[in-house]
Amino acid sequence: MSALISCDVKVNKNEVTSAYCACHNLVFDPNIKNEANNLSTSQLKTIADLFNFKLKAEYENIDPQTLIDIFKHKIENEDYLQHQKIIEDNEFKKYFDLQIPKLQSNKHLIEYKFLINEKNQIVLKYRIICLDRMINNHHYVEDVGIIILETNF
């Protein structure tokens, strides 16, 4: 499986400043393993375990369709950068508690976006990008994951 997302930013793989780039060229290739900058399986699991995405207590009994209707227009955007701004939205903060791990590395970055899955659940899709590794002039995506909104419905 390969996923490719392009941008117009030209990134030199040796530049540490690329960590602050808002847009990336990315490729995910699960066949590439054990490279020097890869995170270990346990590191990736730790990162996944640190995500927390749930409704605030006062909204635990909200109708699921009402919640989806409120946020559908916000999360239909395909752009990862725009989704990273959603968490600062006052309406988002009103309903959700979201904790995204802070990486202690300038060589990796977490990007995420919100989706509604086939079971009509709000989910957070994330990807962990290695900014030091390039494959065919694209940043390497080390891992992708899905965090399902914790609810009582």
pLDDT tens digits, 59-76:
988 998 999 988 888 787
Percent pLDDT > 90 in the chain is 31
- For residue 28, the surrounding DSSP H or E stretch is none
**Which residues 6+ apart lie within 8 Å of 13 measured at CB?**
132, 133, 134
Residue 62 located in a structural domain: yes
Residue 153 located in a structural domain: no
Question: Is the per-residue pLDDT at 127 higher than 50?
Answer: yes
Question: Is-above-0.95 flag for pTM?
Answer: no
The neighbouring-strand residues paired with 147 are: 124
- Domain count along the chain: 1
Residue 143 located in a structural domain: yes
**Residue type for 90, please?**
N
Structural domain including 116 reads: 4-148
What is the average pLDDT value for the chain, to the nearest integer?
76
Residue 123 located in a structural domain: yes
Question: Is the per-residue pLDDT at 34 higher than 50?
Answer: no
**Which residues 6+ apart lie within 8 Å of 80 measured at CB?**
5, 111, 112, 113
